[in-house]
């Protein structure tokens, strides 16, 4: 389970750029869990570096900073949001919010997960930061009522805050044996490459749209 495997923290990496090339590129913060952190993968094969490579290949290079923490829930992401933003060299051009997998795996109440994500979007809205919300789907083991309530979180928040939504981060990868690690949950390098290739145009659209969340509190 994402919430039970690899609970170690992943430090937010701000990479030195002596030539200053990254200063002319968009800066993206990826706030997430082990799927963002690159759990179980060698350096350079996680989602952040592979997304950077996919954006480069698409002609839209960007600097993507990894704020993924393995095992993190929406509550954890909410608690460390200011810390993650404070570790950046400048204000990001886009924040990718990709949390909720561990909430679903642990059976955390959908209303609680939704409230945490809502607060994250409100905070980013008050700071004037554009957002791409990336969704998760609940597993079937908690029953149809739980799954229905959980899966509805992300479309509802995207509408309420008027931000772009990618409905399912593991689209095309989940449950594909050739694309996941032996635990059956975390993507392997090939799976992450597929995720990054699919996400790259979504990220580009979000960079172009620059939709700052509506603040609702």
Active-site hit among 34, 70, 72, 161? 34
**What does the alpha-carbon distance between residue 25 and residue 85 come to, in Å, rounded to a whole number?**
17
Active-site hit among 33, 103, 118, 186? 186
Give exposure, 157-179, as e/b (b: 16+ Cβ within 10 Å). Answer: bbeebebbbbeebbeebbeeeeb
Residue 143: exposed, middle, or buried by beta-carbon count in 10 A (0-12, 13-18, 19+)? exposed
DSSP 165-193: EES-TTTTTTT-GGGB-TTSSSB-HHHHH
Note the residue count of the chain: 217
In DSSP terms, which residues pair with 97 in a beta bridge? Answer: 31, 133
**What does the alpha-carbon distance between residue 92 and residue 136 come to, in Å, rounded to a whole number?**
23
Q: Is 178 a catalytic residue?
A: no
Active-site hit among 17, 111, 183, 205? 183
Q: Is 183 a catalytic residue?
A: yes
**What does the alpha-carbon distance between residue 11 and residue 123 come to, in Å, rounded to a whole number?**
21
**What does the alpha-carbon distance between residue 77 and residue 98 come to, in Å, rounded to a whole number?**
9
Q: Is 70 a catalytic residue?
A: no
**What does the alpha-carbon distance between residue 125 and residue 118 come to, in Å, rounded to a whole number?**
10
Known catalytic residues?
A: 34, 183, 186
């Amino acid at each position: 389970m994402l919430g039970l495997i690899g609970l170690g923290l992943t430090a937010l990496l701000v990479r030195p750029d002596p030539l200053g090339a990254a200063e002319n590129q968009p800066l993206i913060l990826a706030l997430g869990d082990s799927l963002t952190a690159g759990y179980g993968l060698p350096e350079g094969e996680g989602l952040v570096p592979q997304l950077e490579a996919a954006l480069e290949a698409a002609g839209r290079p960007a600097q993507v900073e990894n704020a993924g923490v393995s095992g993190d829930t929406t509550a954890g992401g909410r608690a460390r949001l200011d810390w993650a933003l404070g570790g950046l060299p400048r204000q990001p051009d886009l924040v990718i919010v990709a949390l909720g997998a561990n909430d679903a795996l642990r059976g955390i109440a959908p209303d609680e997960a939704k409230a945490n994500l809502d607060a994250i979007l409100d905070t980013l809205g008050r700071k004037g930061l554009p957002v791409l919300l990336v969704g998760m789907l609940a597993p079937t083991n908690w029953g149809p009522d739980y799954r229905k309530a959980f899966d509805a979180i992300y479309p509802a928040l995207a509408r309420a805050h008027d931000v772009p939504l990618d409905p399912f981060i593991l689209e095309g990868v989940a449950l594909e044996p050739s694309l996941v690690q032996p635990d059956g949950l975390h993507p392997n390098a090939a799976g992450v490459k597929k995720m990054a290739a699919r996400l790259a145009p979504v990220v580009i659209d979000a960079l172009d749209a620059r939709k700052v969340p509506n603040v609702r509190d």
